[in-house]
Chains A and B, each alone.
Chain A
Amino acid sequence: MRGATVAAAALAGLSAFVLFAAPAPNPAAPQSAALKTFDVLPAEKPAPLPAPQPESVPTKPTRPVRLRESTASLPRRTEAPSVPLTAPHPPLPDAAPPLDIRLPAAPLPPPPPPPPREQADKSARDAYARSLWQRIAARRPSGVHIPGTAELTFSLSASGALERVSVTGASGNAALDRLALRTVRRAAPFPAPPAALGREPTFTIAFRFD
Chain B
Amino acid sequence: MTIFTTPRLRARSLCLAGTAFVSIFATPAFAQRATALPDIDVASDALPPATPPGARRITRDDLDRQDMGSSDTADILARLPGVSAFGAGGVSSLPVVRGLDNGRVGILIDGIKVDDACPNNMNPPLSYTDPQTVSAITVVTGVSPVSLGGDTIGGNILVETAQPKFAQSGRTLVTGNVSTFYRSNGDGFGGAASVTAATDRVSLTYDGSYTQSDNYEGGGNDGIVRSTEYAKTDHALTLAAQTGIGLFRVQGGIQRAPREGFPNQRMDMTDNRSWFLNGRWQNWFAWGDVDLTVHYRDTDHRMNFLADKGGTANGGMPMNTEVHAAGYTLKLSLPVSARDTIRVGSELHHQWLDDYWPPVGGSMMMGPNTFVNVNAAHRDRLGTYAEWEANWADGLTSTIGIRNDQVWMNTGDVQPYGTGMMQMADAMAAAAFNAADHARHDSNWSGSALLHYRALDGVALDLGYAHKVRSPNIYERYAWGRGTMASNMIGWFGDGNGYVGNLNLAPERADTISGAVTFIGSGGTPWSLKIAPWFTHVADYIDVVKLGDVRNMMGMPTGFVQLQFANREAHFYGLDVSGDVALWQGTDGAAARMSFGASWLHGQNLADDDPLYHQMPFNASVALDYANAGWDAHAEIQAVADKTRVDPTRVEPKTDGYTLVNLGTGYTWRGIRLGVEVANLFDTAYAPPLGGQSLGDLKATGILRPVPGRGRSFNLSLSAKF
Specify the chain A residue showing the minimal Cβ separation from B392.
A89
Q: Which of B22, B394, B626 contacts A108 (CB 8 A)?
A: B22
* B28-A121 in contact (CB<8A): yes
Which residues on A sit within 8 Å (CB–CB) of B296?
A: 3-4, 7-8, 11
Residues of B within 8 A of A205 (CB): 36-40
Contact of A207 among B11, B39, B244 (CB under 8 A): B39
Let me know if B36 and A204 touch, CB within 8 A.
Answer: yes
Interface status of B56 (Cβ within 8 A of chain A): yes
- Closest-CB distance, B137 to chain A (whole angstroms): 12
Residues of B near A96 (CB, < 8 A) are: 3-6, 528, 578-580, 595, 597
The chain B residue with its CB closest to the CB of A143 is B49
B40, A130: Cβ atoms closer than 8 Å: no
Alpha-carbon separation in the docked complex, A90 to B10 (Å):
9
| A103 sits at the interface (CB 8 A) | yes
**Is A84 close to B, CB under 8 A?**
yes
Q: Mark A82-100, 1 if CB is under 8 A from B, else 0.
A: 1111101111111111111
Against B, the Cβ 8 Å flags (1 = close, 0 = not) of A47-58 are 000000000000
In the bound complex, CA of A203 to CA of B413 (Å) = 71
| Closest Cβ neighbor of A94 among chain B residues | B56
Closest to B142 in A: A94
Tally A residues with Cβ within 8 Å of B. Answer: 120
Residues of chain B lying within 8 A (CB to CB) of residue A29: none
Beta-carbon contact of A81 and B324 below 8 Å: no
Are B335 and A186 in contact, CB atoms less than 8 angstroms apart?
yes
Contact A141-B284, Cβ < 8 Å, known A95-B56, A133-B17: yes
Assess A42 versus B32: contact at CB under 8 Å? Given A83-B520, A138-B391. Answer: yes
Whole-angstrom distance between the alpha carbons of A62 and B454 in the complex? 11
The A/B interface has a contact count, at CB < 8 Å, of 382
Tell me if A21 is interfacial: C-beta within 8 Å of chain B.
yes
Complexed CA–CA distance, A112 and B26 (Å): 8
Contact of A208 among B26, B42, B289, B337 (CB under 8 A): B42
Asked whether B606 is an interface residue with its Cβ less than 8 Å from the other chain, the reply is no
Bound form: Cα–Cα A182–B298 in Å = 41
Chain B residues near A15 (CB-CB < 8 A): 239, 250, 279
Give residues 75-127 of A contacting B (CB, 8 Å). Answer: 75-86, 88-105, 108, 111-112, 114, 118, 121-122, 125-126
Which residues from chain A contact B295 at a C-beta distance below 8 Å? 7
Interface residues on B, range: 35 or more
A118 to B32: give the CA distance in the assembly, Å: 13
**Interfacial residues of chain A within 140-156, with CB under 8 A of chain B in the complex:** 140-149, 153
User: For chain B residues 649-695, which have a beta carbon within 8 Å of chain A?
Assistant: none
Nearest CB of B to A74, in Å: 4
How many Å lie between the Cα of A175 and that of B48 in the bound state?
18
Segment 199-236 of B: residues with Cβ below 8 Å from A: 200-202
Given contacts A81-B521, A205-B40, contact A93 B528 (CB under 8 A): yes
Contacts of A172 on B, CB cut-off 8 Å?
Answer: 169, 200
Contact check, B35 vs A43: say whether CB atoms are below 8 A apart.
no
Residues in A whose Cβ lies below 8 Å from that of B485: none
Residues of B within 8 A of A25 (CB): 244
Cα-based distance from A10 to B295 in the complex (angstroms) = 9
Question: In chain A, what residue has the closest Cβ to B21?
Answer: A126
Per-residue contact bits, chain B 77-111, to A (CB 8 Å; 1 contact, 0 not): 00001000000000000000000000000000000
Judged by a CB distance under 8 angstroms, whether A35 is at the interface is yes
User: Is B39 a contact partner of A206 (Cβ separation < 8 A)?
Assistant: yes
User: How many angstroms between the C-alpha atoms of A139 and B597 in the bound complex?
Assistant: 32
Interface status of B15 (Cβ within 8 A of chain A): yes
Shortest A53–chain B CB gap in Å is: 16
Q: Indicate if the CB atoms of A146 and B247 lie closer than 8 Å.
A: yes
Would A173 and B242 count as touching, CB distance under 8 A?
Answer: yes
B644 to chain A minimum Cβ distance, whole angstroms, is 27
- The reply to whether A118 and B520 contact each other, CB–CB distance below 8 Å, is no
Min CB distance, A144 to chain B, in Å? 6
Tell me the smallest distance from the CB of A15 to a CB of chain B, in Å: 5
* Alpha-carbon separation in the docked complex, A176 to B295 (Å): 26
Query: Is residue A30 contacting chain B, with contact meaning CB distance below 8 A?
Result: no
Q: Does B425 contact A (CB under 8 A)?
A: no
Inter-subunit contact B457/A114 (CB<8 Å): no
Contact pattern, A 169-180, Cβ under 8 Å of B = 1, otherwise 0 = 001111110110
With A101-B627, A209-B42 known to touch, is A92 a contact of B460 (CB < 8 Å)?
yes
Q: Contacts A21-B241, A63-B454, A129-B37 given: A97-B520 contact, CB under 8 Å? A: yes
Q: Check A97–B7 contact: CB distance below 8 A.
A: yes
Q: Is B43 an interface residue (CB 8 A)?
A: yes
Q: Which of B599-658 contact A (CB under 8 A)?
A: 625-629
Cβ contact of A11, chosen from B4, B168, B294, cutoff 8 A: B294
Minimum distance in angstroms from A73 CB to a CB of chain B: 9
Residue of B nearest to A142 (CB): B46
The minimal Cβ–Cβ distance linking A133 to chain B, given in whole angstroms, is 5
On whether the beta carbons of A76 and B15 are closer than 8 Å, the reply is yes
Q: Is the CB of B40 within 8 A of A140?
A: yes
Question: Nearest CB to that of A8 among chain B residues?
Answer: B296
Does residue A167 face the partner (Cβ distance < 8 Å to B)?
no
- Does B47 make an interface contact (CB < 8 A)? yes
Asked if A99 meets B391 with Cβ closer than 8 Å, knowing A89-B397, A142-B49, A202-B35, the reply is no
Bound complex: CA A125 to CA B453 (Å): 28
Is residue B452 within 8 Å, beta carbon to beta carbon, of the partner chain? yes
A126 touches B25 (CB 8 A): yes
Question: When chains A and B are docked, how far (Å) is the Cα of A140 from the Cα of B38?
Answer: 13
Instruction: Indicate with 1 or 0, residue by residue over B574-590, a CB within 8 angstroms of chain A CB atoms.
Output: 00101110100101111
Give Cα A202 to B37, complex, Å: 10
Let me know if A95 and B625 touch, CB within 8 A: no
Q: Are B528 and A81 in contact (CB under 8 A)?
A: yes
- A61 contacts the other chain (CB 8 A): yes
Contact of A74 among B19, B56, B294 (CB under 8 A): B19
Kindly state the separation between the CA atoms of A56 and B11 in the bound complex, as whole angstroms.
27
- List residues of chain B with CB within 8 A of the CB of A76: 15
Residues of the B chain whose Cβ atoms lie less than 8 Å from the Cβ of A35: 34
Given the complex of chains A and B, what is the CA–CA distance between A206 and B11 in angstroms? Answer: 18
Q: Shortest Cβ distance from B584 into chain A, in angstroms? A: 9
Interface contact B32-A203, CB-CB below 8 Å = no
A187 to B337, CA, bound (A): 9
What is the minimal beta-carbon distance from B303 to any residue of chain A, in angstroms? 24
**Which among A83, A94, A148 has the highest number of chain B CB atoms within 10 Å?**
A94
Complex formed: what's the CA distance from A85 to B18 in Å?
A: 8
Least Cβ–Cβ distance between A190 and chain B, in angstroms:
10
User: Which one, B165, B286, B391, B595, contacts A182 given CB within 8 A?
Assistant: B286
CA distance A21 to B200 in the complex (A): 14
CB distance from B274 to the nearest CB of A (A): 14
Other-chain residue from B6, B243, B248, B590 in contact with A101 (beta carbon distance below 8 A): B590
State the CA gap A9–B21 with chains docked (Å): 53
Chain B residues, CB < 8 A from A101: 585, 589-593, 625-628
A31 at the interface (CB under 8 A from B): no
List residues 1-53 of chain A with CB under 8 A from any CB of chain B: 1, 3-4, 6-8, 10-11, 14-15, 17-19, 21-27, 35, 38-40, 42-43
Against A, the Cβ 8 Å flags (1 = close, 0 = not) of B276-290 are 011101011110010
Whether B14 sits at the interface, judged by CB under 8 Å, is yes
Contact B338 A188 (CB under 8 A): yes
- List chain A positions with a Cβ less than 8 A from chain B: 1, 3-4, 6-8, 10-11, 14-15, 17-19, 21-27, 35, 38-40, 42-43, 60-63, 65-66, 68, 71, 74-86, 88-105, 108, 111-112, 114, 118, 121-122, 125-126, 129-130, 132-133, 136-149, 153, 171-176, 178-179, 181-183, 186-188, 196-198, 201-210
19 CB < 8 A contacts A-B: A11-B278, A11-B279, A26-B169, A65-B457, A80-B582, A81-B521, A82-B14, A83-B454, A89-B395, A94-B56, A94-B139, A94-B530, A95-B56, A125-B31, A175-B283, A178-B284, A179-B42, A203-B36, A205-B38
What 3 pairs between A and B have smallest CB-CB spacing?
A: A95-B578, A91-B53, A101-B591
Known: A95-B579, A137-B13. 13 other contacts (CB 8 A): A63-B394, A89-B452, A89-B453, A93-B7, A95-B595, A98-B6, A99-B582, A101-B628, A114-B28, A178-B284, A187-B338, A205-B37, A207-B42
